[in-house]
Amino acid sequence: MLQKDNQVYVEHMIDTANKALSFVEGVSREDFDNNELLRLSLTHLLQIIGEAARRVSPDFRENYPTIPWQAVVGMRSKVVHDYLNVDEDIVWNTVKNDLPFLVKELEKILIR
């Protein structure tokens, strides 16, 4: 059974990731490159996902090794502490390629 706080964080990660995915639905890379509001929004959403992941207890993380916890938290740290050097290729690729897998794996946790 999920500890309540961990469940809240996992649900928040899923909701936020789905929001990011909805923002890029039907959006081309060129559209992304030309839309500062979208780039900033996605960067902020990745920060939120990482912050929620950071708050998940270490014991809980150990029970779900398919989730790349370190990478998710690392993205948050990069965005927060090195905000002047955020690589937009990484933001785009993370949202388009990594978030669908993350959502799928996180949803498996809630089903258990």
pLDDT at 1: 47
Choose, from 54, 55, 76, 112, the residue flagged as catalytic. 76
Annotated active-site residue 81? The verdict is yes
Tokens of 40: 């900033």
pLDDT at 44: 94
pTM of structure: 0.90
pLDDT along the chain (112 residues), means of 10: 82 98 98 97 96 96 96 82 77 96 96 78
Choose, from 29, 39, 81, 112, the residue flagged as catalytic. 81
Own/partner pairs for 36-45, CB < 8 Å, 24+ apart?
39/88, 39/91, 42/91, 42/92, 42/95, 43/79, 43/86, 43/91, 44/79, 45/16, 45/17, 45/19, 45/20
